[in-house]
Structure 1
Amino acid sequence: MQKNKIGEIFVRSGLISADALKRALVEHRKNPNEKLSRTLVRMNLTSYSEVAEVLSRQSNIPFIDLNMVVIDPRAVQKIPAELAMKHHILPIYAEKNNLVLAVEDPYDFEAVEAARFASGLNIRPHVASYPDISNAIQRYHALDVVMKARAVQKPDEDMDFILKHTLGNDVQLAQLKEQSKSAVVQNTLNTIIFQAIAIRADAIVFEPLKTHLQVRNRANGALSNGTKIPKKLQKAMLAHIKIMAGLDYAKHMIPQKGRTQYHMQQRTLELEVSCLPAQYGESVIIQILDFGEQVPLIKDLGFQAEDMMKALKLLSLPNGMILVCGPPGSGQTATVYALAHEVLRHQRRIVTIEASIGYQLKGAQQVQINAASGLNFSRALESVLRQHTEVIVLGDIRDKKTAETALRASLNGHLILGVVRSRTLTDAISDLIALGVSPQLVSSALSGIITQRMVRKLCPHCREQYHPLPSLLKKIEETVHERPSGEFLRGKGCQACNFSGFHERFAVYYIALMSQTMARIIQQDVTKSGISRIESSLLSKAILARVTDGETSLEELERVIFHDGRPRRLLNPEDDEQVEQFQQSPQAEAPQHSAPVKASAPLPDEPVLAQTQGSLPVIVRYKAEECKILIVEPNLKLKTQISNALIARSFQVLSATNGVEALETIVRELPDLVICESVLPKLDGLNMVYRLRKSTNTGGIPVIIISSKAETADRIRGFAAGSDDYLPKPFSMHELFLRINAILRRTRRS
């Protein structure tokens, strides 16, 4: 369609004025190959989302939000990458002889015809925004682009690996180098690392699966899926990584660990590579360490005034041991370096001993252990002590000898800053004693313990006000002994935060100074004291203060403080105890029987329901009145029928008629169960389930799919999307209630 025709559509719809169109056409003549819609956005006259909505409405072609649907990789492959990039189109999924296609311009008939010719399928176009299609093409065709468009290129000069720790076997090294010379492999790996750095990931995970090699990035403490590498390239890719890290490619059945440097423009990154044998090949993790990153200062850690005073008091001591503890990935390395940097200001000699050097600390001697050559923590520590070092940073305390040597050194004039991989203060002390260290030595040498947690910050682009669940407010009140109040915010999820609702993290701390009371508790039994409750309460209060300031959410507080690894929202401690007792009792393995009861009222006739035989079962081992069930069903008659049956049995019932409305209700209400039709307007049921599973807040909510699609492939598709059960229509209410009963009995407790 001609540019002026498209422009007239934009003017008629009210998207832009006639004067704006004239200015845009003048600007467009400078770059006639650019679509007019992109020119309008570049001139800040509109947005891509508004353009897509107008084109959808004017052409009567449905709009599709690519961030809210599951894209089938098999469908993507039905159109070559070159064609997708040329016409800016992307297949979403194929159904029988039809291919659902995302298009930027519904009037680009040439693109539709090209897709029909390439795929051999009938095309059902859906309008999507330009950046959404661009991002999807990059995500799903990234490997194709690298393999086909860059195979003839040399590896990027500004992404050059430095090979370190040369292998001793020259023949083997020559063979390995030969295998890694492929430009496809090198450029693909460079692209993967570059993309990880762009999203500020701190680790890249290569997970070998049965059909492909899955790449995942860890950013802000969460993993996200990245490129899928074909199985045929798996060995070459992993060989290249291992060669660059100085590892022995010939050894596949033993764990290995190595390092390499990575230069990108003016930055030098240290990549720590670890390999582990797995079922479908070696699992490889690349830890990204930025040597150009500045050592954090103590004033930037986020200490409250009282904690800052405690920290400075500890650092002023001539000797003693200061432990920094917390769950893995909670920022202990940054904290201990900030403390060491503060000590350096007072002209004291510092040596660090670490498995991997986290930061370049100017003015300190830094030692990296090398188990292969016999340099472990204990031997390095003994050597450092002979050099009259005043302050020693221990990156980890893993064994009795290291622990005892460090504790005794702290009694003999040395200040030891140690990191322990323990979740809480109580765990840190218990773990030292479990290594075989005497409680008396621990209590005598320890000066203080810093416990910390990393909390995700809400994305500033999609924060919104909401009302948290009363049960969550009560749970937090019981911990911090005050009722959370004021306005509460949460992250809705947007493109800027990769639809997680969070962007970056901050730390909260609890600092305990050693006292006579603490020493007595350690010598008796620290696990029986109330220290852990005090620690949890103070950490919760610190996070709650940031909730009040709008920096994070109550759900994030719950995740950080109460998370115990269960996929569902946490139970109360009393419930945890009941669950453990129940699991250990003989009844836990016995079959559960339901006593049938009569339905309170006959159900209205509905052709989609089969004839119900017998009466509906009683729900056991939970209270129905405390269970919230969401029904997502566009058929009003069927939705009413199921709703009435649930209400008659005291369930709390919510309802929605389309996928978008259902998602909003789920995020707001967090129901205990979702009963969902697979075919829904706006956002279909399977895509809705997929979106639920991507969020930490909703990922554990069980879902029953009800559908008129009863083929095996349909059931597999439903379970693959993440549903817990799949019930084809027609079905009986008796069977539906049995399935509800089975799910709620597993996930709810009375």
Structure 2
Amino acid sequence: MSATVHAVHWLVGVAQRAALPGADALATPIVTDPAAAWHDVAGGCGVDAELLAARVADHFRLPVAQLRTAQAGARKLLPEALVRRYGVFPLRADDRHLVVATSDPTNLNVEQDVSFASGRHVTLEVASPGAIADMIEATYSPEQSIESMLKGVRDPSHTLTVVEEEEAEAGPSADEAGTGPVVQLVNLILQRAVDRGASDIHLQPAGNMGVVRYRVDGVLANSGQMPLPALNRVISRIKVMAKLDIADHLRPQDGRARIMIAGRTYELRISTVPARGAQKCVIRVLDAGRASTISEVGIPDAELVRLRRLLSFRDGMIVVTGPTGSGKTTTLYAALQQVHREDVNVMTVEDPIERELPGVTQIQVETRQGVTFASALRAILRQDPDVIFVGEIRDAETAAVAAQAALTGHLVLATLHANDAIGAIRRLADLGLDHATIASTLRGAVAQRLVRRINPACAEPVDDQTPLTDEEERLAIAFGTRPVARAGQGEAAYRGRLPIVQVFEATPDLTQLIAEGKAAGLIEAAAEAAGMRTLRTVGVARVQRGETTLAELERVLGDVDEARAEAALPVPTGAPRGTLALVAASIPDVEQAVPHVLLADDDGANRIIARALLEAQQYRVTEARDGQEAVEHLASGELYDLVVLDLDMPRKGGREVLHALRADVASAGIPVVILTGSSDAELETSLLEEGADDYIRKPFDPRRFLSRVKATLRRSAA
């Protein structure tokens, strides 16, 4: 009769060989995970984890790990996922070796996978699972990663305060989202948006990174990137500010928050949606303290006169059309200020309320509570209103109630989605209003777009010798200035935006055409004959005055019609001729198919070798011949997955560029590898502590160079 052999854990054998008390009675199964096995053996033998670690180290002839003296920069050489999977912790590194602490020296996969991730040979030291876990939690938490990323970031000139912030629902993520580093990073993102005059902030996953983008003057551009775990924490913090459910990652959510910077209040409209790999968050930034009057909006004089006439009516409907972000609400809020007086009862129904208007009753649409545009509008009619603002006429029911209000002695202002002012008539008909009702209620319609204004600091005069572009030849447009981007001076070719406005007034003759259901083209022709200017005509006039460019106008409106423009604006004899410096308004594709590497080295031979190696791996490579050129590339808005910097370069050295990268929240999360000709271990350690993710000694071995680059990219992706 054969005896059954029960395999026991290797740690039991170590305890028995070390003659620890009670070791012979242990029967911990071989499949027990390291943490549980250490707990069983230490408890069964009556020893602490430190003593057991010393016995394990003696058994395998390995040193005992001194976790508290670990190099701060060594953690950058291993991704968090790998560290947690194997229960290891990086202790110190040099150019070729990495020392890690482990509680299981028998796991042969540790050396192989850690070597692959770091690009170095691996040496093991022994520590208990509990001690390693404590170091991992203290070092690799997302908050610690964010704190490390922000270590060199310059403090903002103004403090940011969240106004009337309430506690979010209890939950572990709420506490994490409110920790110091996360709050600091969110505040920096918001302050940067305000400083740049951004109307929207986009936070979204892009491949293996999180990307921050700002919409400034209507153009969306990349502004920075961060690791995905940091992005998730940032969005959680924003959801806390907006009082959203931070545990719900699967459904779209909308909320609002209010912040104060330098004594000025800003409203934030926040929208989150689930996306692949993370959430996407868009924040609309509204200056709550900016309350423009109708004369301050920037509407051209001719259109302003027509709009004032419309606002002088005591009843009827005025609709403002245009795409999202075209300034409709700003114009309507200014119009409400125009009509609001002590003897006028103004009420609004909005979704959302974008700005508080003193003395105006504003109702927020709450669909889940049954408060829709139509139901709120019906309730308003029982509140003795004089002027009603409807945030959007989006369905037949709202259109019918708005028309009823206009017919019963109320002035109704509303927004509507249509391509131009005449298109509002067709849109109201599509929503179920008959032509007779439209003719009886519609006082007028306003169409609006926003174009970027030429920055006066970047405008320069042109003369008769400057050749016309194809667009200018086609339209024969004359103007006196052109925008020129001044690289390195912090000036953009465009700054601020101008409204392009079309105002349709429903005169008796035009009302008759509407009632008869005439075609839009006929109504438009009659309206132009009565003095209405089209969006294109108004826009071309701004081009001729040198306020904007034809390229910008066609970006917003599409191709400008030649016949209309020439008829509207004949070129005076002897007028100065100009040209356009086309300023690209393209939005870089954030979903990059391959890694993009910025390679900065003043040694041309090194650049040739490194570029060839990287491009052989199908990487995109952008070269810089010195540190200053590298900084200019980084400031261009292009996204980089990795920056490789030579330590010693003219104009700006690699260390100086590294400090500049880490001092700006937009670039603080970009991985950086330093090329150094020094063998000074202290220098290499200090580079890691100052923000480098790795370093490579020169002259570099091609295989080791690629290994380090790939390892850094893998760690960034993890």
> What range is the shorter-chain TM-score in?
0.5 to 0.7
| 3-state SS of paired residue (1:147) | helix
- CA distance, structure 2, for counterparts of residue 508 and residue 717 of structure 1: 44
The corresponding residue for 2:471 is 472
| Matching of residues 51-62 of structure 1 within 5 Å | none
Is the 1:296–1:338 contact (alpha carbons within 8 Å) kept by the matching residues of 2? yes
Deviations 1:149-173 (A, max 9, x none): 5599999994232465766xx5xx2
Deviations 1:268-310 (A, max 9, x none): 22211101122232111111122222x2112223344433332
Of 484, 487, 501, the residue aligned with 2:480 is 487
Is the 1:152–1:183 contact (alpha carbons within 8 Å) kept by the matching residues of 2? no
Is the 1:453–1:508 contact (alpha carbons within 8 Å) kept by the matching residues of 2? yes
Of 606, 609, 615, the residue aligned with 1:713 is 615
Is the 1:162–1:262 contact (alpha carbons within 8 Å) kept by the matching residues of 2? yes
The CA deviation at 1:386 is 0.5
The corresponding residue for 1:52 is none
Paired letter, 1:713: E
Does 1:362 find its partner at 2:354?
A: no
Of 519, 525, 530, the residue aligned with 2:511 is 519
Is the 2:159–2:262 contact (alpha carbons within 8 Å) kept by the matching residues of 1? yes
Paired letter, 2:484: G
Of 401, 417, 433, the residue aligned with 1:405 is 401
Does 1:507 find its partner at 2:502?
A: no
Deviations 1:470-512 (A, max 9, x none): 5313543xxxxxx42243423334456654x100011132211
Gaps of 5+ in 2: 1-75, 78-118, 121-143, 564-578, 589-607, 624-637, 639-718
Taking only aligned residues, the RMSD between alpha carbons, in angstroms, comes to 4.1
- CA distance, structure 1, for counterparts of residue 288 and residue 155 of structure 2: 26
The CA deviation at 1:692 is 6.5
Cα 1:498/1:284, change in 2 over 3 Å: farther
Gaps of 5+ in 1: 1-76, 79-118, 121-142, 477-482, 564-569, 574-666, 671-690, 697-706, 723-750
Of 210, 226, 229, the residue aligned with 1:229 is 226
Does 1:290 find its partner at 2:291?
A: no
The corresponding residue for 2:435 is 439
The corresponding residue for 1:529 is 522
Paired letter, 1:519: T
The corresponding residue for 1:547 is 543
Is the 2:392–2:415 contact (alpha carbons within 8 Å) kept by the matching residues of 1? yes
| 3-state SS of paired residue (1:473) | helix
Is the 1:488–1:547 contact (alpha carbons within 8 Å) kept by the matching residues of 2? no
Cα 1:317/1:460, change in 2 over 3 Å: same
The CA deviation at 1:524 is 2.2
The CA deviation at 1:413 is 0.3
Is the 1:163–1:246 contact (alpha carbons within 8 Å) kept by the matching residues of 2? no
Percent of matched pairs sharing the same residue: 28
Is the 1:151–1:183 contact (alpha carbons within 8 Å) kept by the matching residues of 2? no
The corresponding residue for 1:677 is none
Deviations 1:177-232 (A, max 9, x none): 22213212111111111111111111111111220111111111111212212012
Is the 2:298–2:499 contact (alpha carbons within 8 Å) kept by the matching residues of 1? yes
Does 1:220 find its partner at 2:212?
A: no
| 3-state SS of paired residue (2:298) | coil
| 3-state SS of paired residue (1:413) | coil
Paired letter, 1:524: G
| 3-state SS of paired residue (1:407) | helix
The CA deviation at 1:405 is 0.4
Deviations 1:100-140 (A, max 9, x none): xxxxxxxxxxxxxxxxxxx99xxxxxxxxxxxxxxxxxxxx
Does 1:264 find its partner at 2:288?
A: no
Cα 1:495/1:193, change in 2 over 3 Å: farther
The corresponding residue for 2:712 is none
Does 1:340 find its partner at 2:336?
A: yes
Cα 1:455/1:177, change in 2 over 3 Å: same
Cα 1:278/1:406, change in 2 over 3 Å: same
The corresponding residue for 2:275 is 278
The corresponding residue for 2:181 is 184
More off after superposition, 370-379 vs 547-556: 547-556
| Matching of residues 120-199 of structure 1 within 5 Å | 147=148, 158-162=159-163, 173-199=170-196
Cα 1:537/1:450, change in 2 over 3 Å: closer
| Matching of residues 202-213 of structure 1 within 5 Å | 202-213=199-210
Of 412, 417, 437, the residue aligned with 1:416 is 412
Is the 2:453–2:547 contact (alpha carbons within 8 Å) kept by the matching residues of 1? yes
Paired letter, 2:478: S
Deviations 1:546-573 (A, max 9, x none): 333322222222223326xxxxxx8999
- CA distance, structure 2, for counterparts of residue 381 and residue 180 of structure 1: 39
The corresponding residue for 2:30 is none
Does 1:560 find its partner at 2:560?
A: no
Paired letter, 1:455: V
- CA distance, structure 1, for counterparts of residue 336 and residue 547 of structure 2: 29
Is the 1:192–1:227 contact (alpha carbons within 8 Å) kept by the matching residues of 2? no
- CA distance, structure 2, for counterparts of residue 302 and residue 155 of structure 1: 32
Paired letter, 1:405: V
Cα 1:228/1:343, change in 2 over 3 Å: same
- CA distance, structure 1, for counterparts of residue 330 and residue 303 of structure 2: 16
Is the 2:203–2:231 contact (alpha carbons within 8 Å) kept by the matching residues of 1? no
Cα 1:509/1:277, change in 2 over 3 Å: same
Cα 1:445/1:166, change in 2 over 3 Å: farther
Is the 1:406–1:416 contact (alpha carbons within 8 Å) kept by the matching residues of 2? yes
Cα 1:511/1:468, change in 2 over 3 Å: farther
Is the 1:351–1:365 contact (alpha carbons within 8 Å) kept by the matching residues of 2? yes
Structure with bigger gyration radius: 2
- CA distance, structure 2, for counterparts of residue 524 and residue 252 of structure 1: 49
The CA deviation at 1:451 is 1.5
The CA deviation at 1:449 is 0.7
Q: Kindly tell me the number of residue pairs found equivalent between the two proteins.
A: 446
Paired letter, 1:188: L
| 3-state SS of paired residue (1:250) | coil
| 3-state SS of paired residue (2:400) | helix
| 3-state SS of paired residue (2:456) | coil
The CA deviation at 1:525 is 4.7
The corresponding residue for 1:452 is 448
Is the 1:156–1:187 contact (alpha carbons within 8 Å) kept by the matching residues of 2? no
The corresponding residue for 1:538 is 534
Is the 1:464–1:492 contact (alpha carbons within 8 Å) kept by the matching residues of 2? no
Cα 1:527/1:412, change in 2 over 3 Å: same
Is the 1:150–1:183 contact (alpha carbons within 8 Å) kept by the matching residues of 2? no
- CA distance, structure 1, for counterparts of residue 442 and residue 344 of structure 2: 20
- CA distance, structure 1, for counterparts of residue 461 and residue 548 of structure 2: 12
Paired letter, 1:366: Q
Is the 1:209–1:280 contact (alpha carbons within 8 Å) kept by the matching residues of 2? no
- CA distance, structure 2, for counterparts of residue 155 and residue 509 of structure 1: 38
Paired letter, 1:436: G
The corresponding residue for 1:253 is 250
Of 301, 315, 321, the residue aligned with 2:297 is 301
Give the structure, 1 or 2, with the largest relative contact order (CA under 8 Å, sep 6 or more). 2
Is the 1:430–1:526 contact (alpha carbons within 8 Å) kept by the matching residues of 2? no
- CA distance, structure 1, for counterparts of residue 612 and residue 155 of structure 2: 52
The corresponding residue for 2:349 is 353
Cα 1:542/1:520, change in 2 over 3 Å: same
| Matching of residues 52-131 of structure 1 within 5 Å | none
Cα 1:517/1:711, change in 2 over 3 Å: farther
Cα 1:222/1:352, change in 2 over 3 Å: same
The CA deviation at 1:313 is 1.9
The CA deviation at 1:693 is 7.9
Provide TM-score, normalisation by structure 2: 0.55
- CA distance, structure 2, for counterparts of residue 552 and residue 456 of structure 1: 6
| 3-state SS of paired residue (1:299) | coil
